[in-house]
Amino acid sequence: MGSGLEAVLKLCHRAPEFVKAYDHPSAYRTRNMLDRHREPFDHYLDSCQYFHGHLMSGEYSCRSWALLHNFQPYCPRANSAPAYTSPAQRVRLSRQLAA
């Protein structure tokens, strides 16, 4: 049996695991939403050579990056750019509307 056929059969045997996802129709099917935030953070950690010094300096560094990332403007070519300038502004506006 070829390795391609073995891979297909292995995938077919795992079909019941994949069907579970359809019990949650509003759930995301990919990791794209996570990767949009994880990849720049990974790049940041790589460029600053990960953590040096004390544990708290590493934590402060990660928290400061996250704050700056939240206030980073959207791409001006995005469809949502005229309505919002950043994810943090979207949260602020939604809270104002709810109040």
Predicted TM-score (pTM) of the model is 0.51
Q: Is the pLDDT of residue 85 over 70?
A: no
pLDDT tens digit sequence for 11-69: 899 988 888 878 888 877 777 777 888 898 999 988 888 777 788 888 898 999 988 88
pLDDT at 80: 61
Q: Is the pLDDT of residue 99 over 80?
A: no
CA geometry: angle at 68 spanning 62 and 38, to 5°? 55
SS3 content of the chain, % helix, strand, coil (to 5): 65, 0, 35
**To 10 degrees, the CA torsion angle through 45, 85, 29, 63?**
30
